[in-house]
Structure 1
Amino acid sequence: MYIEEYYYKINRILLMIIGLWPYQNSTLATVQNLLISSILGSSIYIQLIPFITHECNSILVIDVLSYMFPTLVAVIKYYYFYMKAGVMKRLLEQVQADWNSLKDKHEREIIKSYAEIGRLITIFATMLCYSVPLVYAMSTMVPYIINIYLSHNNTYVHYVYIPIDYSVNQEKYIYVKLLHFFAFLCIALNTVVAFAALIGLYFKHACGLLKIASYRIEHAMNVEDMRPISPLEREYVMCIKIMRAVSIQQKALKFTDRIMSCFTIMYFLLIIIGAISISVSMFRLVRILQTNSDWREAFIMAMSVIGHFVYMFIANYAAQEISDHCNDVFFAAYSSTWYVAPLRIQKLILFLLQRGAKNFTIILGGIFIGSLEGFASILSASLSYFMVICSTQLTEEKMAK
Structure 2
Amino acid sequence: MLLWLMQIISLKSMEHNRNYYYDISKRFLWMVGQWPYQKPKTRLSFLALVVIVLANCLFTQIAQIFVCEDTQCIFQTLPPHLLVWNSLVKVLAYRFNSQKIKDLTDHLFVDWNILKTQEEREIMKKYADNGRWYSLIYASYCYVSTVSFITMSLVPRIMDIVFPLNTSRPIMLAYPAHYFVNEEQYFYYISFHMLITALICVTGLIAHDCMFFTYIEHVCGLFTVVGFRFEHILYKRNITKRKLINYPDEVYNKNIAFSVHSYRRALQFAELVEKVFSISFAMQLMIATIGLSVTLLQIAQLHNLMDTTKYFVYIFAQLFHLFCFSFQGQKLIDHSLQICYKIYNSAWYEIPVKGQKLLLITMRKSTKASTVTACKIYVYSLQSFTTVLQTAMSYFTVLASFSE
| TM-score between both structures, scaled by the size of structure 2 | 0.87
Structure 1: give runs of 5+ residues left out of the alignment: 395-401
The partner residue of 1:99 within 92, 95, 112 is 112
Which of residues 246, 253, 256 in structure 1 aligns to 2:260?
246
CA distance in 2, matches of 1:154, 1:35: 41
Correspondences of 1:123-142 after superposition (within 5 Å) = 123-136=136-149, 138-139=151-152
| Contact 2:223 2:339 (C-alpha < 8 Å) held by counterparts | yes
Aligned counterpart in structure 1 of residue 383 of structure 2, from 355, 367, 373: 373
Question: Does 2:79 correspond to 1:69?
Answer: no
Aligned to 2:190: 177
**AA partner of residue 243 (structure 1):** A
Q: Distance in 2 between matches of 1:8 and 1:345?
A: 38
Residue 72 of structure 1 and its aligned partner are, at CA, apart by: 0.9
Match of 1:328 among 338, 349, 355: 338
Aligned to 2:183, the other structure's residue is in SS state coil
State the 1:154 CA deviation.
8.3
Helix, strand or coil at the partner of 1:263: helix
CA-CA distance at 1:339 after TM superposition: 1.8
Offset, 1:222: 5.5
| Cα drift, residue 319 of structure 1 | 1.3
Distance 1:142 1:171, change over 3 A: closer
Aligned residues of 2:77 and 2:177 also touching (Cα < 8 A): no
1:144/1:65 Cα in 2 relative to 1: closer, same or farther (>3 Å)?
closer
C-alpha distance in structure 2 between counterparts of 1:154 and 1:89, whole Å: 58
Number of residue pairs matched by the alignment: 385
Please report how far the alpha carbon of residue 186 of structure 1 lies from its aligned counterpart in structure 2 after TM superposition: 0.4
C-alpha separation in 1, matches of 2:301 and 2:165: 33
CA distance in 1, matches of 2:76, 2:158: 30
How does 1:212-291 map onto structure 2 within 5 Å? 212-221=225-234, 225-226=242-243, 229-232=245-248, 235-288=249-302, 291=303
Say if 2:270 and 2:370, in contact at 8 Å, map to a contact too.
Answer: no
Equivalent residue, structure 1, for 2:4:
none
- Specify which of 6, 17, 35 is matched with residue 21 of structure 1: 35
What amino acid is the match of 1:262? V
Q: 1:346 aligns with which of 356, 374, 392?
A: 356
Tell me: CA distance 1:141–1:66, structure 2 relative to 1, closer, same or farther (3 Å). Answer: closer
C-alpha distance after superposition, 1:2-30 (max 9, x if no partner): 35520111112222222322223444443
Letter matched to residue 383 of structure 1:
M
For residue 398 of structure 1, what is the aligned residue in structure 2? none
Question: 1:38 corresponds to which residue?
Answer: 52
**SS where residue 103 of structure 1 aligns?**
coil
Deviation at 1:304, TM superposition (A): 2.0
Q: RMSD of the alignment, in Å?
A: 2.5
- More deviation, 240-249/71-80: 240-249
1:271–1:365 CA contact under 8 A, matched in 2:
no
Aligned to 2:11: none
